Amino acid sequence: MSTAKSFEDLFVWQKSRELVNCIYSFTRKPVFTRDRGLADQITRAAVSVLSNIAEGFERGSKEETVYFLYIAKASCGEVRAQLYVALDQGYIVKAEFEKGTELCRFTSSLISKFIESLKVSKYKGLKFKEPIDKEREEFEKQLRSYLPANYPFPNK
């Protein structure tokens, strides 16, 4: 995570985007669109995977990231379960089911590995990252301009 500058840089997010596109391609089929409830639920669950990875990354702390990754992982399971319903109801064929479940399993596996790597990492999150010295100096300079001249400004 420390090398990723945005959630879009994360391979796990990129795979979850692929999963979302796969699910949307299934739910656009005329036979699937008649079951609005399932179509809505499976697309919402797939979008939840993508969204929670992004939200966790943007939260800024390791603990929050892990929390949202667990939600994303659970949503992968939800999508997989709903793919069984879609298969059983004849909304998708076996090859589509296999493609969707494989993407779910792979994405879920990536999420698990990401969680485990974060748990053992010393990385605390963006909230706790020290600002670059030059930025800090500029900020302190501006801050000092608002304080009385004799104000005891803390040293680094």
* Inside any domain, residue 14: yes
pLDDT at 12: 95
DSSP string, 91-150: SS-HHHHHHHHHHHHHHHHHHHHHHHHHHH-----GGGPPPPHHHHHHHHHHHHHHS-TT
Higher pLDDT, 78 or 141: 78
Residue indicated by tokens 């969204």: 51
Q: How confident is the model at residue 155 (pLDDT cuts 50, 70, 90)?
A: low
Which structural domain range is residue 11 located in? Answer: 7-126
* Inside any domain, residue 156: no
Q: Which residues contact 17 (CB under 8 A, 6 or more apart)?
A: 50
CA–CA dist 41, 85 (Å, integer): 11
**What is the number of structural domains in the chain?**
1
* Inside any domain, residue 13: yes
Q: Which residues contact 15 (CB under 8 A, 6 or more apart)?
A: 103, 106, 107, 110
pTM of the full structure: 0.77
pLDDT tens per residue across span 88-147: 999 999 999 999 999 999 999 999 999 999 988 776 666 655 544 565 566 566 666 666
* Inside any domain, residue 142: no
* Inside any domain, residue 62: yes
Reduce the DSSP state of residue 28 to 3 states and report it. Answer: coil
CA–CA dist 106, 100 (Å, integer): 10
pLDDT tens per residue across span 31-74: 999 999 999 999 999 999 999 999 999 987 889 999 999 999 99
Tell me, what CATH number does 50's domain have? Answer: 1.20.1440.60
* Inside any domain, residue 131: no
CB 24 within 8 A of CB 123: no
* Inside any domain, residue 132: no
**93 to each of 26, 40, 45, 80, 125, how far by Cα in Å?**
10, 19, 20, 14, 43
Reduce the DSSP state of residue 74 to 3 states and report it. Answer: helix
* Inside any domain, residue 2: no
